[in-house]
Amino acid sequence: MKYTHHNNELNFKHVGEHVYLKGWVQKSRNLGGLVFIDLRDRFGITQIVVKPDHKDYEKALKIRSEFVIEVKGVVLERESKNLNIPTGEIEIEVTDLIILSAAETPPMTVSNDSDALEETRLKYRYLDLRRPVMQNYLIQRHKITQAIRSVLVDEGFYELETPILGKSTPEGARDYLVPSRLYAGHFYALPQSPQIYKQLFMVAGFEKYFQIAKCFRDEDLRADRQPEFTQVDIEASFIDESDIQSLIEKIMVHTFKKVLDVEVKAPFRKMSYKEAMETYGTDKPDLRYELHISDYTDTFKDIDIPLFNGKTYVKGLVLPNGASLSRKQIDQLSHLVKKNHGDALAFIKLTSEGYSGSLNKFMNDEHYASFNLNEQDILFLVPGDNDNALNALGALRVELADMFNLADPNNYQFVWITEWPLLEYDEEEKRYYAKHHPFTQPNDPKVLAENPKEAYAKAYDIVLNGYEIGGGSIRIHNQEVQKLMFKTLGLTDEDVKHRFGFFVDALKYGTPPHGGLALGLDRIVMLMTHTSNIKDVIAFPKTQSAKDQMMQAPSDVDEIQLKELHLKVGE
């Protein structure tokens, strides 16, 4: 018989009804001869009671946490009500009790307030995922995915798949390689993204493509990054930047309303890459708070401060009401600045007792007046070259917002970062790299040919609350422009033929203008569910050291397998 109700559905209006429930035992307790059982499923908890004179009483005494049981019974009004849960006014007096599966004592508590270490939670992930908070993350992920998919389908996009086993075309992070058994010494690569394949769909004439795509990058991990992750991959023909941006805004507006019942206003703000870096110290600014970076170079040019001597720039930001920071806290902030490539951290405070700070002995009242500080403000200053000073202050800005709770978690601030440099120059290798990827359309191919450093891209990132949640560009569809891009990147004809020969060939047969964007599904779910750890929203994630604690992967393999793959493991 199918159960009649989930374990969150019964309430006072069901008193007297005969019901049939199934689930896991959250806890069991014997109180004065009565056995009380909290029965849990993915929807909630119902209290079950077995009386001493019941035929299944001895069976009930054996039940422990995480047993799987089914019960038939009658809904009664509870004497001691629990109004914190939907079923707290009733309980089920058991008429029939069946143990479907016994359970050993679990190595962790299956509850939201479990204090198990992350290593334990990942090792026993199937138990961790029984916890309501963890199930909610994945249920929300499902809802978010379906909301995004529904917009794309309604807009006429086809959901098409691309291969997992492909060719290594290293341009960013390291590839994960898969050795071939049939072709000794040759390897497939797992896709870092379906970039080339989705462009080939455009060459093939599908016009509108999307895919919920698994991607793989062998790179150092952090709280918002995993070696395998999921993208909502989107590509379309005969469009420009504004078309893609409008589509993504429509997706975000619909998804936030559908899943969180939150109104998101479009169109989203647009900000150039240069403005983002100079004002916020990052290309993914959190706009929920101010803390704008300013240039104080001219202010200090006539003040003899040894710390600033010989430095190209002095950048800074003012934290209102931040003068309460202790010297110990400022020392910790100084360490953060140096960790993020800043030369040093200086500060000036204004309190009711006047000005103070690390530059006090070099300053006078006239100097201080030029800062226009309000009482209880603190000004932080970082000297150095432009990029390093901005990078350090960007990190400082985020840390200060966290310390002073400046970011409202229920405030969602989207921004498009546009006008990206097409290339970045590596001084050590004396060559250019693509800022995004080598198929990004330059704003002006003539500038790319004559002055690559000044070339800008038809590229755009979408940022939400300090996280990049998507990035894309208009692609190169002209084979001559693509050849110019490869040449600027220092790729020889042989390099191009080896890495991208099939793709270059495809451009010869009539390629429509096209472009797209990939949304980071994991990060979107992370932000919409208010967790700071991306592992929470991935069913079976890896650790920070890229290990699968549950499966114990990566692992060694049999010598026979290695031999079949023509591989030897070094000492």
CATH number at residue 318: 3.30.1360.30
Shared-domain flag, residues 431 and 533: yes
User: Tokens for 513?
Assistant: 């203008």
Residue at which a domain ends, from 378, 403, 428: 403
Residues 169-208: pLDDT tens digits?
A: 766 678 999 999 999 999 999 999 999 999 999 999 999 9
Shared-domain flag, residues 322 and 387: yes
Identify whether 513 is preceded by a cis peptide bond (ω within 30 of 0): no
**Residue ranges in the chain modelled with pLDDT below 70:** 1, 170-172, 223, 571
| Domain membership flag for residue 366 | yes
| Domain membership flag for residue 548 | no
* Residue 571, pLDDT score: 67
Number of domains in the chain: 3
Are 280 and 273 contacting, i.e. CB atoms less than 8 angstroms apart? no
Shared-domain flag, residues 265 and 297: no
| Domain membership flag for residue 434 | yes
How far is 173 from 178, CA to CA, in rounded Å? 16
Shared-domain flag, residues 152 and 242: yes
CATH (domain of 21) = 2.40.50.140
Shared-domain flag, residues 33 and 55: yes
* Residue 1, pLDDT score: 60
Taking the mean position of all CA atoms in its chain, how far away is CA 436?
Answer: 18
Bin 238: left if φ > 0, else alpha if -120 < ψ < 50, else beta. Answer: left
Q: What is the SS3 assignment for 29? A: strand
Shared-domain flag, residues 307 and 329: yes
Shared-domain flag, residues 255 and 176: yes
Shared-domain flag, residues 432 and 523: yes
Residues 71-98: pLDDT tens digits?
A: 999 999 998 899 989 999 999 999 999 9
| Domain membership flag for residue 114 | no
Q: Each residue of 62-75: b (16+ CB within 10 Å) or e?
A: ebebbbebbbbbeb
Q: Each residue of 8-24: b (16+ CB within 10 Å) or e?
A: bebeeebeeeebbbbbb
Shared-domain flag, residues 429 and 501: yes
Shared-domain flag, residues 376 and 425: no
| Domain membership flag for residue 356 | yes
* Residue 302, pLDDT score: 83
| Domain membership flag for residue 305 | yes
Residue 566 CA: distances (Å) to CA of 108, 175, 190, 557, 569: 43, 20, 19, 13, 10
CATH (domain of 199) = 3.30.930.10
How far is 266 from 261, CA to CA, in rounded Å? 16
* Residue 221, pLDDT score: 73
Shared-domain flag, residues 452 and 336: no
* Residue 99, pLDDT score: 97
* Residue 17, pLDDT score: 96
* Residue 366, pLDDT score: 86
Max intra-chain CA distance, the chain: 93
Shared-domain flag, residues 158 and 266: yes
**Residue 68: partners with Cβ closer than 8 Å, 6 or more residues away:** 22, 23, 24, 25, 99, 100, 101, 103
* Residue 168, pLDDT score: 87
Residue at which a domain ends, from 383, 403, 423: 403
Residue at which a domain ends, from 84, 101, 118: 101
Q: Which helix (H) or strand (E) holds 279?
A: helix 273-280
What is the domain range of residue 383?
Answer: 289-403
How far is 278 from 135, CA to CA, in rounded Å? 41
| Domain membership flag for residue 433 | yes
| Domain membership flag for residue 555 | no
* Residue 382, pLDDT score: 96
Type of residue at 382: V
